[in-house]
Structures are given as C-alpha cells and as structure tokens.
Amino acid sequence: MKFDVLTLFPEMFEPIKQSIIKRAEEKNLLEINLINIRDFSKDKHQKVDDTPYGGGAGMVIRPDVVYDAYSSVKSENAKTIYLSPQGKTLNQKMVKELAKENHLILLCGHYEGIDERVIGKIVDEEISIGDYVLTGGEIPAMVLIDSVSRYVEGVLNSESVEEESFSDGLLEYPQYTRPENFMGENVPEVLISGHHENIRKWRRQESLKNTYNKRPELLKNIDLSEKEKDYIENLKKEGK
Ligand code: 4GX
C-alpha cells in the first residue's frame, strides 16, 4: 500500500515513521511518501497561499500549487482523500474499506483551507477524524495512515487480527499481568486456571459488559447470539 501525503509540514510526520509502521516500511509492505506542497510554488518566495476572495480572516492555499503537487504523484488507481472537518467521520468500517486500496493520496489543508476548485477536481472522498477543530490536516492524515496500515497484509501478526475479529465492534476485555496480587487485588481466578475455553467465555462476557456499561450505543450494530442478548438483558435487570 502506498500513501502519498500532500502537506506544507512534512516534518510533522516523523512520529508515524516509528515502531510498527517503520517495520512495515522496511518489509516493503507500506510506502509513505511525503510531498511538500511548497516545492510546487512558482513564486520566488515560494508562497503557496493568498487572501480569500470576498474578504475575511486568514489565508487560503492556492489551487494551482496543490494541483501541481497532486499531478506529481497521481496514478490510474489512486484514491485522493481530503482531511477536513466537513468530511464523513472516520470509523473502523471505513478503515477496513480503505485498506483494500493500493494507492491513497492524502491532502492536508492548513489555515482556512484550500481553494474549492481544486478540491472538486482531485478529491474522491472527504474524511474527518471527529467533530473538533485542529490547526491542520496532518494529524488526521497520520490517524488515517496508522489505522489503515494495521489492516495491510503482514503489518500486524495474525494473532492480533484474530483477537480483533473475536471482539469485532465490541470494546476490549480487561488485561492483567504480573504480579498476581497488586495492592490487595488479585488477578481474576479464571485467567490463572489454564482452562482455555473458560477464559475465552469470560473474556467475551467482559467485552459485552464493558460495551454495555461504557458505550451502549455500539451494541446496536453488532450481531449477538441469543445467549449474549440474554446476558445483556440480565446486566440491565441487575443494574450492573
Ligand atoms: N478532521 N482540520 C483541516 C483546514 C481546513 C479548513 C477548512 C478544510 C476546510 C480536521 C478534523 C480538522 C482543521 C483539518 C482545518 N480544511 N480534519 N484544516 N477534525 O479539524 O479532519
């Protein structure tokens, strides 16, 4: 999977070049290219923005500079994404769909945004990472790269991917490690029992309980067995 990031601040992407993503790049599973939009300015001072027509605060990025940066990376099968608060809010379902693509071009805006005309010409999808205002599209682009990369074949070990399908759409079950007793509190007995089937059942119930208590709205979108529905009904009755 190739990501081409069009940005005015390529240095901001240092953090994503670490850890799991770094290993995936070394294994040639991922390629993350940073394209500085400023390199495509024809201005002698390398200016990329200008005041908005009609007046108002701030600056708008020029369409011609963005188009030239885009033209330097575009391919037949590329999908271009504009990170903006006006986009559809990113969720795990969208992440999985994006992971099927071969070439994503991520356009990061700054200031008051980018001239609308080039957005219309090059953008296939507008995506937001949530309803709050950031100073630019770089952090959203990193969120997208990180979340999508997890689903690229070979990036995660297959165990982690299986674990995730077990808890599909539910919150995680709680985790414990040594010591067995911490400040008077023991690790749940079942986890020490070595009884794998009981452990699996316990974890599934804890995931259901966690989801019911912390994010009940998530349960609407999940296929539960009749037994699991009963388990949740009981949590409701018992007020747990
Ligand atoms: N999820 N921002 C983009 C520039 C901008 C301004 C106006 C389009 C129109 C954000 C988010 C986000 C701040 C990135 C404004 N772009 N992006 N930037 N939340 O807040 O994606």
Judge if the beta carbon of residue 132 lies within 6 A of ligand 1. Answer: yes
Residue having the nearest C-alpha atom to atom 17 of ligand 1: 84
Judging by DSSP bridges, how do beta strands 60-61 and 49-50 pair with one another?
antiparallel
Residue having the nearest C-alpha atom to atom 13 of ligand 1: 134
Residue 5 pairs in a beta bridge with 34, 106
Domain 2-156 has CATH 3.40.50.300: no
> Which residue type occupies 147?
S
Dihedral sign, Cα of residue 163, residue 164, residue 169, residue 172? positive
DSSP, residue by residue, 189-211: HHHHH--HHHHHHHHHHHHHHHH
Which ranges in the chain are annotated with CATH 1.10.1270.20?
A: 181-238
Let me know how many helices (H) and strands (E) the chain has, helices first. Answer: 9, 9
Which ranges in the chain are annotated with CATH 3.40.1280.10?
A: 2-156
Q: Distance from the CA of 210 to the center of ligand 1, in angstroms?
A: 32
Whole-Å CA distances, 75 to 2, 68, 84, 86: 11, 14, 23, 26
CATH superfamily of 181-238: tRNA(m1g37)methyltransferase, domain 2 (1.10.1270.20)
Residue having the nearest C-alpha atom to atom 18 of ligand 1: 136
Judge if the beta carbon of residue 69 lies within 6 A of ligand 1. Answer: no
For the CA of 133, the closest atom of ligand 1 is 20
Q: Distance from the CA of 25 to the center of ligand 1, in angstroms?
A: 27
pTM listed for this prediction? 0.95
Q: Distance from the CA of 121 to the center of ligand 1, in angstroms?
A: 19
Q: What is the pLDDT along the chain (240 residues), one digit of tens a residue?
A: 999 999 999 999 999 988 889 999 999 999 999 999 999 999 999 999 999 999 999 999 999 999 999 999 999 999 999 999 999 999 999 999 999 999 999 999 988 999 999 999 999 999 999 999 999 999 999 999 999 999 999 999 888 887 887 778 999 999 999 999 999 999 999 999 999 999 999 999 999 999 999 999 999 989 999 999 999 999 999 987
Hey, which of 6, 7, 84, 132 would you mutate to test ligand 1's pocket, going by the most ligand atoms within 8 Å of its Cβ?
84
